Structure 1
Amino acid sequence: MSTNNNKQHRQTISISRLWRMLVLPLMAVVVATVPAKAFLARPVIFASIGSVTTAPSGWLQFCSENPDECRTTPDPQQNVELTPDLLQQLFTINAFANDRVKWTSDLERYGKIERWAMPLDRGDCEDIVLLKRRMLAQAGWPTGALLITTVEDPKAGNGRHAVLTVRTDRGEFILDNQSPEILFWYETQYRFLSRQSATDPNLWVAFADAKELPGPVLAPRVR
């Protein structure tokens, strides 16, 4: 086994241990729950998807180094039936990853403008999204419901940013390292560019032009 493979194997073990040691106990003792009834009473509106587009170069590089993370699953496309417990799980994992990983640029970590990698304690937005995707998959969420998404952030001069879209029967939620909130996609201020297809993580699709949607509403947070 090569040095890189050994490193990746150790990293996978470390993340799995973090999950067992920190996240699962935290989920078991959470007392405060998300007021799910009010949260889930909002409009169920799914984003309009357009044509197939080019996958980000960082994803292609990540898949060449981590093929197991990029395999197409045999399960058909499905939206998760969201329950209060699963909603709480989204909040718990989102908060854990955001708190665990200190935002660090790829230039500082690797001396490169762009590199996607599974983080331990440092990483940028794409890395944090990869961690959330893995942790949710390990918790039993289908990967077809966990879609890496690229957006433009008007607060950063329309700079590129990555978030995780989670598809459920109650709509599509955005998990974002820049906010402790979990919002429906239409509640964010982002301009959505592209995301993974729900049927194949290596197939990326562009977003169609957004129609008139409800205005931003802050989602409740777990305290």
Structure 2
Amino acid sequence: MNGRIITLVSVLGLALLGSTQAHAQQTGSIGASTSPPIGFVQFCRDSPDDCDNRTMPRVSIPLTEASWRTIVKINADVNREIIAVTDQDHWGVPEVWSYPVDGKGDCEDFVLEKRRRLIKAGYPAQTLLITVVRDQKGDGHAILTVKTDRGDFVLDNQVGKILAWKDTGYRFIKRQSDENPVRWVSLGGVDTGTVAASR
């Protein structure tokens, strides 16, 4: 039953993507290099094999019915399987980035697991970008930006539906570079709440 629902959502979602209004466009204007989050630095120190420090060509995922279905399934699976818990409650410290191997994690851990599974499914690392935003409450939050040939989409543990970046209502702060995922670039604090209101 769940498989049928995911397939239906995938097909309907891809049909919607065919319209001009549904195209996501790229995530705002990419600015200068900026410092990575301290948790990301710690993650790369602990998991160096998952932090490939080399320049890669800029690419995007061709968004087909099959690729969209895979993205939807992995997003739904991780959101369903992982229990959201703060690092303070989980580890007794304010900030730890890690894979949720015990089935628990905060927003960064959801992102890391989705990214890992998508890379394993064959998607290029430079199309799967950890992104730091401010949510509607002004709190810091991590999401996964997926670069496709139809624009940038967001995988989020707070929202089940995959949205175009400009439809999230978030303020975009910074993300991994799409040329070297160890480096980070500023997104200028573009407020998608304002973008949505102006349409």
Q: Could you tell me the TM-score, scaled by structure 1's length?
A: 0.78
1:127-183: CA deviations, max 9, x gaps? 0100000000000000000000000012x3x01000000000000000000011000
Structure 2 gap ranges (5+)? none
The 2-side partners of 1:168 and 1:146 are apart by: 10
- The residue number in structure 2 matching 1:178 is 158
Q: Tell me the equivalent position of 2:67.
A: 86
Is the CA contact 1:187–1:215 (under 8 Å) kept in the aligned structure 2? Answer: no
Question: For 2:53, what is the secondary structure of its paired residue?
Answer: coil
In the TM superposition, residue 46 of structure 1 has moved relative to its aligned partner by 1.0
The structure 1 residue matched to 2:99, chosen from 78, 98, 118, is 118
Q: Secondary structure at the match of 1:99?
A: helix
The CA distance in 1 between the partners of 2:154 and 2:24, in whole Å, is 14
Cα deviation for residue 80 of structure 1 reads 1.0
Cα distance in 2 between the residues matched to 1:209 and 1:57: 19
In structure 2, distance between residues paired with 1:130 and 1:209: 22
AA at the equivalent of 1:170: R
State the 1:185 CA deviation: 0.2
Q: For the Cα contact (< 8 Å) 1:152–1:191, is it kept in 2?
A: yes
Gaps of 5+ in 1: 1-25, 218-223
Counterpart for residue 20 of structure 1 = none
Alignment of 1:190-205 (within 5 A): 190-205=170-185
Alignment: residue pair count: 190
Give the Cα separation in 1 of the matches to 2:172 and 2:97: 20
The verdict on how the C-alpha distance between 1:99 and 1:216 changes in structure 2, with shifts beyond 3 A counting, is farther
- After TM superposition, give the deviation of residue 55 of structure 1 in Å: 0.3
Contact 2:173 2:189 (C-alpha < 8 Å) held by counterparts: no
CA contact (8 A) 1:27 1:89 kept: no
Name the CA distance, whole Å, in 1 between partners of 2:4 and 2:57: 30
Deviations 1:164-206 (A, max 9, x none): 0000000000000001100000001100000000111111001
Residue of structure 2 in register with 1:11 after alignment:
none
Q: Indicate how the Cα distance of structure 1 residues 192 and 31 shifts in structure 2: closer, same or farther if over 3 A, else same.
A: closer
| CA shift in 2, pair 1:149/1:209, >3 Å | closer
Q: Does 1:43 align with 2:26?
A: no
